[in-house]
A and B are shown apart, each in its own frame.
Chain A
Amino acid sequence: MAKKIKPTSDQLSRRDFIMRGGAVVGGLAMAPSILSNTGAFAARARGENVGGKLSVLNWPLYIDEKAEAQFKKATGINLKYSEALNDNNEFFAKYQEPLSKGSNVGFDIAMPTSWMANRLLKLGYLQKLPLTDAPNVANLSPGFQSPAWDPSGEYTLPWQTGMTGLAYNIKVTGRELTSANDLFDPKFKGKVGMLSEMRDTVGLTLLGDGVDPATVTYKQARPSMRKLQKAADNGQIRRFTGNDYQDDLVSGDFAVCVGWSGDVAQLVLENEDLRFVIPDEGGMRFADVMVWVKGSKAKAQVAAWLDYFYTIDNAAQLEAFIQYISPVANIQPALAALDPVAAKSELIFPPESVEARLKTFKILNAKEEEQFDNAFAKITGS
């Protein structure tokens, strides 16, 4: 059975509380640690002033505002935090040139999605992360120790992970949705949104057609690509969006769309008819990962950053804000202290039954990627 979030008054008041009174979240940093290793870090971080400069490039709203100040205070690092990462491909187009020369790109750490990190890794644009200088990295969930995009686990470290599934507005659909093929239901014609992130949209369509995105070849994907092309041509699909699908979902312009877990939890505040579901056929798993780019010399600062956000308390605080899935293990108790509802959410801690249905898109080789990208560009009309 697919799981759904239903907003309860409890949830609303809780989120309301956090949104308006961010102080609670901030105050927690000073609360006594429940877990021993976090206490150890706190002492270490306070005692050891790292100093220096660190520039981080991340997606918008991917950190709680308190964390920036707390990190600066804890480490003495002069942090320059930019939210200019909006799209993986755009990111690559912007920085490919300087990265290839190993010249200064204006940031030390960035958080592209795993497949993009893999491309950067293959092109030799990354440095090995200073993992040994960041003891708290030991808190990484076992599932991410040697991921497909970074088999040795030395070049990337997840910042946040999450699930791709269906987000829908029950008032417009008139029924609960459980299948990836509901995106192609003619009843929703002109009210369907898809993501411009190729792997999410194509991945979910493949799952609906019974093809495993983790092993797919371009040939196997062709029928699904044709299905998408048809849906785009006949007006079934209203728009291809980035994260702004949320805007269309709230305003009721989308009945159903491909969406990311965690976002909908925020959106029910605006519109309580919204739901998120991992379809019966399966959903996609994504990870936005931290990479240290070639040319950066801020090794100690990068280590401090990794270490800081892999402490249980700090990871829990981050989780309370982002609400996707934390790559840090055992944060549930710490999160419960901050946000009891989030700590029980199946979107943040998916049960085995859901976890089993999640797939990660295959790492494509250059030729396959170009085939997929070209076909997908055609589907999106550009």
Chain B
Amino acid sequence: MTATVAPPVSPTIDPAPIERTFPPPWMRKVGTISLNVYAGLGLLYLFIPIFVIVIFSFNQPKGRFNIVWQEFTLANWKDPFAIPELVDAFKLSLEIAAISTGVALVFGGLIALALTRYRFRGNAFVNLFLVLPLTTPEIVLGASLASLFIAQGTDRGFLTILIAHVMFCVSFVALTVKARLRGFDWSLEDAAMDLGAGPMRTFTKVTFPLMIPGLLAAAMLSFALSLDDFIITLFNAGTEVTFPLYIFGVRQRAIPPQINVLATTVLVVSVALLIIGTVAGRMRERSRTSPH
């Protein structure tokens, strides 16, 4: 997700005469405001379907399709687990997301550590190799993995979904953690060693804490990617039904409002986490800047 350019493009300095009267301040102000409004509209655009999803979680459909507004109800919220298949699918998705994120964090974290901590032969190759799964369309990843399983005669199911999810999460984790570790001063580790800390202690007390922000970001990213993956999973799921696969199937015969309820719940939980994170961050900042 993060990016660097090899040599930063250095801005060329243009010896044009400095003309301070144009544009006049009012024009700058209009410019600023219209840019802000444009960005605000962009943000609004991101939320348009979200509003629809949330609003329809309070709809009382008369038939099986929750797509025409009928009347307001809280019934769907009182009984969010009314559909056992939906709940099972959701649980399965959470389980797969949790396990694949865990595995990907270990694998990807170690790769990031190797790439930032050491200089070694093949470094550039590994960097390129990590990017390849990201520059391959999902449909190709899904089809090729399924080809392998078919050629091997492996039955597709829970395990094959996990394999696939770990595969596409590892790259994301490695690259995210690497971006955060880059520029980190590794002589701190040596300092810890010099002070008598063993390699294990150095890792747990120095290296690992420094990796935590990167790992957290990577964990969120890969959890979200796994939870939402449809295309690769479709090819490799066998009899298992994840949340997206459930929606893909059931939408043909019904769109139950409980889908909206679960989607809204995920949304509310993530908004809450975001707000808590922001508030906590600001409080930490304040306590740090406040005079002792």
Contacts and interface: CB of A to CB of B under 8 A. Distances in A.
Please tell me whether chains A and B touch each other in their complex, using a CB distance cut-off of 8 A: yes
Nearest to B88: A82
A272 B175 CA distance: 54
- B156, B241, B248, B251 — which one has the most chain A CB atoms within 10 A of its CB? B251
B61 A105 contact: no
Given A83-B250, A97-B150, A16 B239 contact: no
Given A82-B239, A103-B155, A106-B239, A61 B248 contact: no
B88 to A, nearest CB: 9
Contacts of A86: 248-249, 252
B250 A60 contact: yes
A108 to B, nearest CB: 12
Interface stretch (A42-50, A164-172, A174-182, A262-270): A262-270
Interface stretch (A147-155, A243-251, A335-343): A243-251
B26 to A, nearest CB: 48
Interface string B48-73: 00000000000001111101101000
Contacts of A271: 68
B25 interface: no
A90 to B, nearest CB: 9
Given A57-B239, A97-B153, 11 more contacts: A19-B63, A94-B237, A94-B238, A95-B239, A97-B155, A246-B253, A247-B255, A250-B67, A266-B64, A267-B63, A271-B68
A82 B241 contact: yes
B253 A60 contact: yes
B155 A98 contact: yes
B254 interface: yes
Given A16-B62, A84-B239, A86-B248, A61 B253 contact: yes
Nearest to A103: B155
A105 B250 contact: no
Given A19-B62, A82-B85, A243 B253 contact: yes
Contacts of B70: 270
A101 B181 CA distance: 49
Interface string A8-48: 00000000100100000000000000000000000000000
A242 B62 contact: no
22 contacts: A60-B85, A60-B249, A60-B252, A60-B254, A82-B85, A83-B249, A84-B239, A84-B245, A85-B249, A94-B238, A94-B239, A103-B155, A105-B239, A242-B252, A246-B64, A246-B253, A250-B63, A251-B67, A266-B64, A269-B63, A270-B68, A270-B70
Contact of A61 (B153, B156, B250): B250
A107 interface: yes
A57 B85 CA distance: 12
Nearest to B239: A106
Contacts of B277: none
**Residue picked from B61, B67, B238, B249, most chain A C-beta under 10 Å:** B249
Contacts of A85: 249
Nearest to B157: A106
Interface string B128-165: 00000000000000000000001001011100000000
Interface in B240-272: 241, 245, 248-255
Interface of A: 16, 19, 57, 59-61, 82-86, 94-95, 97-98, 101, 103-107, 241-244, 246-247, 250-251, 266-267, 269-271
Contacts of B249: 60, 83-86
Nearest to B83: A65
Interface residues of B, number: 27
A269 B63 CA distance: 6
Contact of B68 (A57, A60, A107, A250): A250
A264 to B, nearest CB: 10
Contact of B156 (A19, A94, A103, A241): A94
Interface of B: 61-65, 67-68, 70, 85, 150, 153, 155-157, 237-239, 241, 245, 248-255
A46 B287 CA distance: 70
Contacts of B65: 246-247, 250, 267, 270
B234 to A, nearest CB: 9
Contacts of A106: 157, 238-239
Contacts of A95: 239
B62 A269 contact: yes
B160 to A, nearest CB: 11
User: Taking each of B63, B155, B249, which has the highest tally of chain A beta carbons within 10 Å of its own beta carbon?
Assistant: B63
Given A16-B62, A250-B68, A244 B239 contact: no
B61 A270 contact: yes
Contacts of B156: 94
A246 B253 CA distance: 7
B121 to A, nearest CB: 41
A244 B153 contact: no
**Which A-B residue pairs are the 3 nearest by beta carbons?**
A243-B252, A106-B239, A269-B63
Nearest to A241: B252
Nearest to A252: B68
A270 B62 CA distance: 6
A270 B254 CA distance: 12
A109 to B, nearest CB: 13
Nearest to A101: B153
Nearest to B251: A244
